[in-house]
Amino acid sequence: MRIVIAEDLLLLRDGLVRMLTDTGHDVVAAVASGPDLEAAVDEHAPDLAVVDVRLPPDFRDEGLRAALAVRRRRPAMPVLILSQYVERVYAAELLADGRGAVGYLLKDRVTALDDFLDALERVASGGTAMDPEVVRQLVARQGRDRGVAALSPREREVLGLVAQGLSNSAIGAELHLAPASVEKHIGNILTKLELPPSDDTHRRVRAVLAYLNG
């Protein structure tokens, strides 16, 4: 996978480059600012961008705003936010286009290399990979979508795990549910959210976006 990294901390940036290179990926650019991220994506057309939220010069939300600019020019460009902070407004905007291929992980909660690499693959293939704390903060808002409001507590629980990127088997293991029960819950979720039959992965992404943006 060809990857661009936008991270201002030198040691972390170099560490990411080394880790991703050692695991078979091609880091085509590693930059430290939002404008440099945009330029690198335009130049290299990578498969994925890994982006910190707070970049120079103000260290507020420059990374997320640059990611939004990238997605406006390249719809569905896979972006994985890797940050210490949850920036709710711009994160919700990043998710709002409905195309998926978005992840948001918190640096201090990434504890296993295999899980991180799996998140990269899910986002690059058009799915989602959301830290549970990011999910919690993004859904702690008023004005829920009517379809989301109709979900049962168990269905919300299942959809929250779908948002994190878990497969049906992983959801079943997490909630101690049989595979058929997980499939039934997901079927009910898609029906209540009025998502018509289409590619199953696309429907799951759209369900997650309804959950996070409702």
For residue 106, what are the β-bridge partners? 83
Residues 3, 107: Cα–Cα separation, whole Å: 18
Beta-sheet pairing, 2-6 with 128-130? unpaired
Cβ atoms within 10 Å of 182's Cβ, excluding its own: 23
Q: Look up the CATH number of domain 2-132.
A: 3.40.50.2300
Phi-psi group of 153: left, alpha or beta (phi > 0 → left; psi -120 to 50 → alpha; rest → beta): alpha
What's the pLDDT at 202?
Answer: 59
Fold classified for 142-213: Arc Repressor Mutant, subunit A (1.10.10)
pTM (2 decimals)?
0.76
Residues of the chain with CATH 1.10.10.10: 142-213
Residues 201, 195: Cα–Cα separation, whole Å: 12
Q: Does residue 106 sit in helix, strand or coil?
A: strand
Return averaged pLDDT per consecutive 10 residues of the chain, 214 residues in all: 96 96 97 95 97 89 92 91 83 72 89 92 88 73 61 86 82 90 86 65 66 63
Q: Which helix (H) or strand (E) holds 65?
A: helix 62-73
